[in-house]
Amino acid sequence: MSDIDIERKIKIIDLVSEYCDKNLDSEYKELCLRIIEKMSRKKIVPFSSGKIEIWAVGIIYAIGQINFLFDKSFLPYQSTDEICTYFNTSKSTASQKAKNIRDMFDLSYYDKEFSTKKMSDSNPLSDIVMINGFAVPKKILNDK
């Protein structure tokens, strides 16, 4: 990673950390920082070009999407408008960058590496195992 990439990484970390400290929680901050680290290990560092604010909002947006951050029935809750206003970016730009990040790491709901503890605990598939092509609840196996 070049010196410029390291400087950009530090700036993105600062922006994401500040936002998470003010508006989210330590778990979201940890997940966002984890994805920044993972990006920085890629052969071609994705955030070596483009506005750092767009990368920061995209990271928070991507992690938020797979953890239902935009659903008012979950806590913490933030709207896409609140995040985009904070970083002075448009929703379409933030959404597009988040999609790029989700695609880059194949992120989806109940992702083992980037889900909050609450999401991991509520995963409806966590108690299912595949046996000979059949989905079987784990508790059936434990009853024997």
Please tell me the distance from the alpha carbon of residue 90 to that of residue 2, in angstroms, as a whole number.
29
pLDDT at site 105: 92
- Find out whether 17 and 28 touch, Cβ atoms under 8 Å: no
pLDDT of residue 124: 54
Residue 4 pLDDT = 79
Strands (E), the chain: 128-131, 134-137
The residue ranges of every structural domain in the chain are 3-119
Positions of the chain with pLDDT under 50 = none
Note the pLDDT of residue 75.
Answer: 86
Read off the amino acid at residue 91.
Answer: K
Domain 3-119: CATH superfamily is: Cyclin-like (1.10.472.10)
Predicted pLDDT of residue 25: 93
* Rounded (5°) CA angle 101-74-76: 70
pLDDT in tens, 65-85: 989 899 898 889 999 999 999
Question: Given this model, what pLDDT does residue 115 score?
Answer: 76
